[in-house]
Amino acid sequence: MHETDMTKALILTVKDWYHSQPEKAKIEKIHLIVGQFTCVEPVSLQFAFEVQTRNTFLEGVELAIQDIPLIAFCHSCQQEYKPEIGLQYSCPDCKSPMEDIRSGRELKIDRLEYSLTNNCSTEGQFATNDN
Amino acid sequence: MHQTFDAAIELNLLHANQEGADYNREHFNEWGITCLNIMSSPGAGKTVLLEQTLAALKDKLNIAVIEGDMTTELDADRLRKYNVPVIPINTGRSCHLDSKMVAGGIHTLAHQYNPSDFDLVLVENVGNLVCPAEFEVGEHAKVALLSVTEGEDKPLKYPVMFQEADCLLITKIDLAPYLDIDLDRITANVRQINPKVKIISVSAKTSEGLKQWFAWISDRVIENSTKQIATQV
């Protein structure tokens, strides 16, 4: 399952970002953009993410996957069309092959939503109380 | 009080793999090597095609094989009979090769041989029509195999592989008369997705079409080395 490898890459990228922050951030949501004309299955990606983030700083973080449809542009007809994946990719009007893909090949980490947990002093206080 | 912030990342999920692939390609270019990534479903005939290719071209080109589709050492042993370096890659249970695994193969090649002596590296990918297409390994061209027994609809069902291919070999063509298969439909289905791909029908058993395949390889090596020399000057 290649979604496992992609999830590893995703986690590493987010980890880099996390460690580069001057203040401690709590990541709440990761936004991904996944085109329909890729080999990635969003459900498998969600599953792999859930499993691989267990007991890590990303546990419980929501993964929001935006599905991007396959859209091609036909140069003969000068118009965009939506190929039917698995059935027909050429232009429905003139049957020209699918040459110019306008969207659907995306595999991108778009953005992160996070909050700042400014609680270093509070943690210290609790430690003193425990003693 | 709960305030959320947004951080734009805008990075491709395969960014790290892509960087690794570019790095591998730089090495190939430095050494004057052309690299072909050979992909297909399991059993389409990658290994036998490699055997035929090595037998025909090993005296004309210096070839090395990076063997990723290994269940046993048997495949590698079949290819070693042609006296070319065959570097096995331990893919574990991975469903595709990635640029890091191939970098390991390149490392071995560079340590055991003089890499500048080679003209061509053939990478045999893991048998799978889905993910190898998304993971570039540093190749100069992608070759996909589709055997006639797999059916005409495969290019429509696994479009990314066929869309990415520079050359498509329709293999086991000698079996076509025994099957209800429409070769024109295969070609038409591939052309819908990839009008520019070079399509060659071959049979490793009867040798039909193999000369065309060898010529395609030689053309890639010549074309690529011209480019490599041009960028070095």
- Answer whether residue B216 shows pLDDT above 80: yes
- The pLDDT value recorded for residue B74 is 79
Nearest-angstrom CA–CA distance, B133 and B131:
5
Average pLDDT over residues B61-77: 85
Task: Judge whether A54 is closer than 8 Å to chain B, CB to CB.
Answer: no
- Where do the domains of chain A lie? 2-69+104-130, 71-100
Tokens 């048997």 locate to B74
CB crowding B183-217: b at 16 or more within 10 Å, else e = eeebbebbbbbbeebbbbbbbbeeeebbeebbebb
Chain A CA closest to residue B15: A9
Torsion of Cα atoms, A64 then B97 then B29 then B36, to 10°: -120
| A129/chain B closest Cα distance in angstroms | 25
Which ipTM value was assigned to this complex? 0.84
Structure-block tokens of residue A19: 């460690």
Angle at B101 between CA B20 and CA B108, to 5 degrees: 100
Nearest partner of B172 among B209, B139, B217, B203, judged by Cα: B203
Task: Judge whether B199 is closer than 8 Å to chain A, CB to CB.
Answer: no
Ordered domains of chain B (ranges, CATH): 15-222 (3.40.50.300)
Cβ(B137)–Cβ(B87) below 8 Å: no
Q: What 3-state class would DSSP assign to B223?
A: helix
Q: State the sign of the Cα–Cα–Cα–Cα dihedral B108, B112, B116, B120.
A: negative
> φ, ψ for residue B169 (rounded to 5)?
-105, 120
**Amino acid at residue number B206:** T
CATH class of A2-69+104-130: alpha beta
Q: What 3-state class would DSSP assign to A54?
A: coil
Per-residue model confidence as pLDDT tens digits over B94-126: 789 999 999 999 999 999 999 999 999 999 999
| A10/chain B closest Cα distance in angstroms | 6
Per-residue model confidence as pLDDT tens digits over A57-83: 999 999 999 999 999 999 999 999 999
- H/E element holding B157? helix B154-157
Q: Which of A32, A89, A112 sits opposite B159 (nearest CB)?
A: A89
- Answer whether residue B146 shows pLDDT above 80: yes
Task: Judge whether B222 is closer than 8 Å to chain A, CB to CB.
Answer: no
